[in-house]
Amino acid sequence: MSNKKLLLKTTNSFLIYAVIILLIAAPVFYYICQWLYIYETDEVLLFHKGAFVNESHSNYQASDIAAWNKYNHNVTIVPDMGVTKDSIVGEMIFEAIANEKEPFRILYAPVEINGKKYTYIEKRNLVEMEGMVISVAFMFLFIIIILLIGIIWISKKSAAKIWKPFYNTLSQIEEFEIDKNSPPQFIATDIDEFDRLNKSLERLIEKNTVIYKSQREFVENAAHELQTPLALFQTKIDTLQQLDLTREQSELVGSLNKDVSRLSRLNKNLLLLSKIDNEIYLEQEAIILNEYIDKNLDFFIEQAQAKNVKINTHFKNILRTKGNTALTEVLLNNLFLNAIRHNIKNGVIDIITENNSLKFVNTGQQTPLGAQSIFNRFSKVNPSSQGNGLGLAIIKKICEINKWEIRYSFNDNLHTFEVIF
């Protein structure tokens, strides 16, 4: 369903109503006018006849009647045509002056002159009526159209004015992001409904911001508080492993060691995420990404050796951008790590820099990842993997904060993560 604008919708119904009214009213009006005119004409015809009878033309001789007929163009007295009562008919009669047939109303009435029966015929041209009715109809139409245009224009204007606070609220809400900007400032309105809308939105935003903040603080505090017990854990394991341990015990302590370092890594990543949320990393600098990639390349080549994964760089361009240096490094490291972690034995990682984008293309599982959820926190594709499910969330967060775009695609059994700067 295509969405229409609110204002358009209200004026649309106005317009449709107006058109319907016009279509119905115009012919109805025309016919009513015509009927009225004919009615009036008929009245006049009967009145004339009445006057003729009253004016005691009853003593007219045949010669008088001939003279009457000679000088009266519209009224003729003819010998009885067998008409018994007054009857009026509409007829098209040829009019010599206009040289065409014109509509007439003709009255046939029985009259008695000198005791003899005659028929009184009077005709009236309706041509004037046609013109009048049409001009009246046009005037009527003109007035109605002016009226409608006026109504639509005024309603549009006033609607725009009335809905202004609504549109203001709408645009502010559209721009609002709970983790970024300050709460919207709605303009004051004297319309009760909008005022209620604004107030409830304000309340909603305020409440959610508080919840969001406390959630964020909770994550940060929790991660912080965990550092100390983790330190206790670590130092005790370090102490424990100095004891004379049996093979079995050594193995247990060894795996504990792995667990605690995984735990502390997870915790550090959580801390990092909440720090990014709290916008600690606002400083922006010019960055040459190729240099950053080269800087840690050796480290990751070494990390990739365990799986015998080959890392190739294809620097087509010097990729320059602006961003926070510390976060950019974290972003690149996570891209590297992600490509190594989810790679297969003897796999390949290609790092490609283009005009304004950086691509990490790697071999891995044979099916594409769910593009929707992979950037969510703790969404792990492979539950047994060593990752903590935060790497891609961190990547996405860093892209968001620097206003970069991250894209994932899967082609020819290759996973591609592309950052567009």
Partner 1 sequence: MKILIIEDEREIAQSIKDYFKTNGIQCETAENYDLALTKIDSYDYDCILLDLMLPDGDGFDILKELKAKNKTEGVIIISAKENLETRLEGFNLGADDYLTKPFHLAELLVRMQALIRRKNFKGSNSIIFNEIVVEIFSKTVAVNDIKLDLTKKELDLLLFLIGNENKVLSKSAIAEHLSGDMADMLDNHDFIYAHIKNLKKKLTHAGSGDYIKTVYGLGYKWENEQ
Which one of 156, 164, 275, 377 is in contact with partner 1 (CB under 8 A)? Answer: 275
Contact 110, 117 (CB under 8 A): yes
Question: For residues 42-101, which are near partner 1 according to CB under 8 A?
Answer: none
Candidates 208, 374, 179; CA nearest to 277 is 179
- Tell me, what amino acid is at 319? L
- Beta-ladder partners of 93: 102
Residue that is written with structure tokens 């691509």 in the block: 359
Contact 402, 419 (CB under 8 A): no
**Choices 183-191, 194-202, 265-273, 361-369; region in contact with partner 1 by CB under 8 A:** 265-273
Contact 266, 387 (CB under 8 A): no
* Residue 28 or 232 with smaller CB distance to partner 1: 232
156 part of the interface to partner 1, by CB under 8 A: no
Number of residues that bind partner 1 (CB under 8 A): 49
Candidates 300, 215, 229; CA nearest to 260 is 229
Q: Burial letters for 14-47: b for 16+ Cβ neighbours within 10 Å, e otherwise?
A: beeebeeeeeeeeeebbeebbeebbeebbeebee
* Residue 111 or 304 with smaller CB distance to partner 1: 304
Question: For residues 181-240, which are near partner 1 according to CB under 8 A?
Answer: 224, 227-228, 230-239
**Choices 9-17, 120-128, 144-152, 253-261; region in contact with partner 1 by CB under 8 A:** 253-261
Convert residues 377-416 into a mask of x (bound to partner 1 by CB under 8 A) and - (unbound).
---------xx-----------------------------
* Residue 44 or 256 with smaller CB distance to partner 1: 256
Which one of 38, 53, 191, 271 is in contact with partner 1 (CB under 8 A)? Answer: 271
Q: CB neighbours of 189 closer than 8 A, spacing ≥ 6?
A: 165, 195, 198
285 part of the interface to partner 1, by CB under 8 A: no
Convert residues 301-340 into a mask of x (bound to partner 1 by CB under 8 A) and - (unbound).
-xx-xx-------------------x------xx-xx---
* Residue 70 or 247 with smaller CB distance to partner 1: 247
**Choices 66-74, 207-215, 250-258, 404-412; region in contact with partner 1 by CB under 8 A:** 250-258
Contact 125, 95 (CB under 8 A): yes
Minimum CB distance to partner 1, residue 257 (Å): 4
Let me know if 397 is exposed, middle or buried by CB neighbors in 10 A (0-12, 13-18, 19+). Answer: buried
Minimum CB distance to partner 1, residue 361 (Å): 20
What whole-number distance in Å separates Cα of residue 74 and Cα of residue 56?
A: 19
- Beta-ladder partners of 418: 359, 407
What whole-number distance in Å separates Cα of residue 335 and Cα of residue 353?
A: 13
Contact footprint for partner 1 (CB under 8 A): 224, 227-228, 230-239, 241-242, 245, 247, 250-255, 257-258, 260-262, 264-265, 268-269, 271, 275, 280, 296, 299, 302-303, 305-306, 326, 333-334, 336-337, 341, 386-387
